[in-house]
Structure 1
Amino acid sequence: MFKGLYKVEFKTPRRKAMGILYAADGKLRGGNSAFAYVGSYKERGNTITAVVSSMRHTDDPNYPPVFGFDRVTIDCQGSANGEFATFEGTAAETPSLGFKALLTRISD
């Protein structure tokens, strides 16, 4: 089961970033010092599909956006295995730019 609090490390060919993400009851909520993440997910067998919107909440040049935009919607697919989950996908705003994420469980 995917439910829990995770550290999330994500990257595109442009940048890397980290944050926190909580998954429960089909909802995703999280963020970091400059961005908020809000979305939803569905589990089907070993596959998890998700849609997450990332939006800047603080104007801080120390936290550049990984996609080059302050607001994006990411479609991704992945799976959870024990304490980890991995995802790959793209943002609607930059469909040619790949996205990868590694989630590490912090707590249930």
Structure 2
Amino acid sequence: MYQKKIPIDYDCGLGVAMEVIGSKWKFCVLDEISKGITRPKDLVHAINGITKRVLQNQLRELERHGILGKTVYTEVPLRVEYYITESGKSLLPLIAAVDTWGLGFAPQLKTLLEKEN
């Protein structure tokens, strides 16, 4: 199993938070699952720009950290659905706040980036 070269500092809340949710896609994955999209195939279609491989890695990490749970249905074809755990539900207000801030900042960011070009 992969071992990090720099260990997690469990005394730093930001370090722990970044270990669990620090990626480009995890907030998007959690947001879509909270809206009821629970199957990987549907998540790929709902999240613009994510690949199947990246989604699988993000789901695996979120599950390993206890933010998501997984239900596997033994049917043909195999069906897998993800759900947000109680620990994961505590992140939803944070995700909503970041989404609100991002939407409010988007016009300013667009203007700044257009000036560069």
TM-score w.r.t. the length of structure 1 is 0.27
Q: Which has the larger radius of gyration?
A: 2
Q: Report the structure, 1 or 2, having the larger helix content.
A: 2
Instruction: Specify which structure has the bigger relative contact order, considering alpha-carbon pairs within 8 angstroms and separated by 6 or more residues.
Output: 1
Q: Report the structure, 1 or 2, having the larger strand content.
A: 1
